[in-house]
């Protein structure tokens, strides 16, 4: 299942969530109810035979370079993970 990112300008937040391609996307911010914009991000592909996506991600940059890149991104926006919507609630 792909990971999607949605940006809310008023809240300065990027929401990350997983949902199927045929499912409805997030339309509004869960916090302020303003419309969100879907961000285009690169897929996670393993073309060089790394044992995990994390290993592939960190192989391109030194640890200090990666920390610097994350600090630049988080200076403007906060990232929040939204769990996928549960269609069938076993507790109901």
**Separation between Cα atoms, residue 59 and residue 63, nearest integer Å:** 9
pLDDT at 46 over 60: no
Domain regions of the chain by residue span: 3-81
**pLDDT, tens digit (0-9, with 9 covering 90-100), for 48-68:** 666 666 665 556 667 787 777
**Beta strand segments in the chain, E:** 3-8, 13-18, 37-39, 78-81
Cα(3)–Cα(20) distance, integer angstroms: 9
pLDDT at 28 over 80: yes
Q: Give mean pLDDT, residues 78-90.
A: 72
pTM, whole model, 2 decimals? 0.58
């Amino acid at each position: 299942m792909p990971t999607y990112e949605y940006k809310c300008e008023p809240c300065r937040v990027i929401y990350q969530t997983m949902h199927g391609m045929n499912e409805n996307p997030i339309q509004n911010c869960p916090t302020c109810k303003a419309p969100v914009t879907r961000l285009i991000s690169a897929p996670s592909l393993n073309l060089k035979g790394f044992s995990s996506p994390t290993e592939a991600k960190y192989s391109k940059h030194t640890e200090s370079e990666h920390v610097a890149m994350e600090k630049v991104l988080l200076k403007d926006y906060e990232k929040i993970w939204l769990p996928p919507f549960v269609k069938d609630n076993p507790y109901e």
